[in-house]
Structure 1
Amino acid sequence: MPRRYVLVLVAVTLVVLGAGLLFTAVSRVREAAARMACTSHFKQWALALHNYAALFPDERGTKKLDAFPAGTVPNSVLPPEERLSWWVPVLPFMEQGAVCDQFDLTRGAGDPRNAEPVSHRLQWLVCPSSGEYDRGTHEWKSAAPLTHYVGVAGVGPDAATLPLGHPRAGVFGYDRRTAFLGDFPDGVSNTLLLIETAQTPGHWAYGGAATVRAFAPDMAPYIGPGRPFGGWHNGTPVLFGQRTHTCVVAMADGAVRSFSNATAPEVLEALATVAGHESLPADW
């Protein structure tokens, strides 16, 4: 091969490699910024939930329960998926009291009387990596207001319906409220509160699987594209090896962490329960 062709080939290769490295660097910066924004969302909602727990009275209004909300607004005549979600009573603690006040809490999310507040879109409930909300154009991609953040119900398909204290129950059950005093044998720092998901996100105002989800062992591994949780922070393009897929979570003590597709399913299952008494590795 003539020398000039070799030089041209080398030059083209260097340009391609340079462009690839630049694209990777830009992608990493963008993803890091989106993940930081997502982390900020989780911190705000975790704080809102703690403020709710500290200030909200029991059903009779006689004393403070110091408990997280039930997974759905209580309504004995509606199934969980038609009730209002736990997000609704927490809205005032995110300076959205005006929206909360518009709800008729005795009716479901699909009731005509709740049509106006249900139509509200909340930026803090969508992952910035999803592209759901365009901050430049202020436009939304989906027709319905969605949430990418859900409460953790525990382990197993029936986790949201289990009684308080069950070894597979998590913080959020459709009809149970988990209190700080006595309901966290595993410890609040070892219990998942919120987690993000890209899998069939639902409307934030609806109860059921739209806003409360569990870890189902037959769906493991849990984190990554097409998996039950995570799916937005899919790593950045790499020239060699595999991407790392991360998932942002909030713990019951208010701390915000990230797990990855390398996190063992058994660890996530142990963290999903409030009273499972599981053993966790030292470096989880």
Structure 2
Amino acid sequence: MFPAGTVSIPELPVEQRFSWILPLIPFTDQPLRTEVRAEAGWQSAEHAELIDTSQIIYRNPEQRLERPFRSAGDYVAIAGIGADAAALPENHPRTGVFGYDRRSTLESITDGLSNTLMITTLVQPNRSMFAGGRETVRGFSRQPYLNGPDGIGAVAGTNAVQILLADGSVRSLSPAADATLIEALATKAAGDRVAPSVYSASSCLTLHP
């Protein structure tokens, strides 16, 4: 099962909750150095040291823009299609893998793991990889889906959008990729199939500099 888009604390607005990276921390090579109290929210003063800690594995080495916090990152989890995608119920045809309170199982991704988008690069850094809400979970709301109003796309000076699929593979898409392709990739159970030829064979993504 994949984590929900935010750590579920119903009393907190999604923008104040911790994001999906908090439950992943124990599985990475960058463990937490401080205690975390999720119910206090990521912006709480007690988490100031954590938010000021660089999250190297979530940095795109091609990104050169200034970061608001040292924990800012360059990747976003995909919620599906529409501005409301992250809040949609599990069985909605526009849902993607991630939702604010939605946890996807492998079995729920009926379009196929190799046809379903999980994470993409951002045009510019988010505030912090620990920030819940739109900073770390987004749906494709308006066209152009890549390098458009949602801030999802290729870093300035590059010509490829790096994507992580649900099967763990990494591919590269042109910012000019067809909108119907993006919609097919972003949803997990809409009956879409994606031809392997749409990806760049030479693409390679690393989460380390």
TM-score by length of 1: 0.65
Conserved? CA contact 2:124–2:155, under 8 Å: no
The change in CA–CA distance for 1:225 and 1:266 in structure 2 (over 3 A counts) is closer
The residue aligned with 2:186 is 272
CA distance in 1, matches of 2:38, 2:4: 14
> Structure 1 residue 123: deviation in Å?
1.9
Residues 226 and 175 (structure 1 numbering): CA distance in 2 closer, same or farther, change over 3 Å? closer
Amino acid at match of 2:108: D
Alignment of 1:93 with 2:16, yes or no, is no
Q: Please list, as runs of the form range in 1=range in 2, the aligned pairs for 1:30-69 lying within 5 A after superposition.
A: 67-69=1-3
| 2:13 equivalent to 1:79 | yes
**What is the alpha-carbon distance in structure 2 between the residues aligned to residue 143 and residue 177 of structure 1?**
29
Change (3 A) 1:124 1:177: same
Q: Does 1:229 align with 2:143?
A: no
C-alpha RMSD over aligned residues = 2.0
The 4+ residue runs of structure 1 with deviation greater than 6 A are none
Q: 1:212 aligns with which of 134, 137, 146?
A: 137
Structure 1 residues 233 and 93, CA gap change in structure 2 (3 angstroms): farther
> Residue type of the partner of 2:176?
A
Moved more, 245-254 or 262-271: 262-271
Letter in 1 for 2:157: N
**Fraction of identical pairs, as percent:** 36
- Length-normalised TM-score, structure 2: 0.86
Structure 1's 79 and 159: CA in aligned 2 closer, same or farther, altered over 3 A? same
Distance in structure 1 (CA, Å) of the matches to 2:153 and 2:196: 23
Q: CA deviation at 1:199?
A: 4.3
Moved more, 264-273 or 109-118: 109-118
Of 30, 41, 58, 1:125 maps to 58
Matched, 1:174 2:97: no
1:33 aligned partner:
none
Whose RCO is larger (CA < 8 A, sep 6+)?
A: 2
Is the Cα–Cα contact under 8 Å of residues 224 and 234 in structure 1 kept in the other structure?
no
Alignment gaps of 5+ in structure 2: 199-209
2:46 counterpart SS class:
helix
The whole-number CA distance in structure 2 between the counterparts of 1:225 and 1:165 is 27
Structure 1 gap segments, 5+ residues each: 1-66, 133-140, 236-244
C-alpha distance in structure 2 between counterparts of 1:215 and 1:227, whole Å: 7
Please list the CA deviations of residues 114-162 of structure 1 after superposition, one character each: whole Å capped at 9, or x if unmatched: 2221221112222211125xxxxxxxx4341311101010000100001
Question: Which of 100, 114, 119 is equivalent to 1:194?
Answer: 119
**Are the counterparts in 1 of residues 154 and 162 from structure 2 also a CA contact under 8 Å?**
no
Measure the CA separation in 2 of the matches of 1:277 and 1:194: 20
- Give 1:225 shift: 7.6
1:175-213 CA distance string (max 9 Å, x none):
010011x21111111000100111462211110011001
Higher-Rg member (1/2): 1
**Closer/same/farther in 2, CA of residues 233 and 260 from structure 1, 3 Å limit:** farther
On the 8 A contact 1:192/1:271 being kept in 2, the answer is yes
SS of the residue corresponding to residue 206 of structure 1 reads coil
Q: Distance in 1 between matches of 2:23 and 2:108?
A: 21
SS in 2 for 1:124: helix
Rounded to whole Å, the distance in 2 between the matches of 1:248 and 1:131 is 16
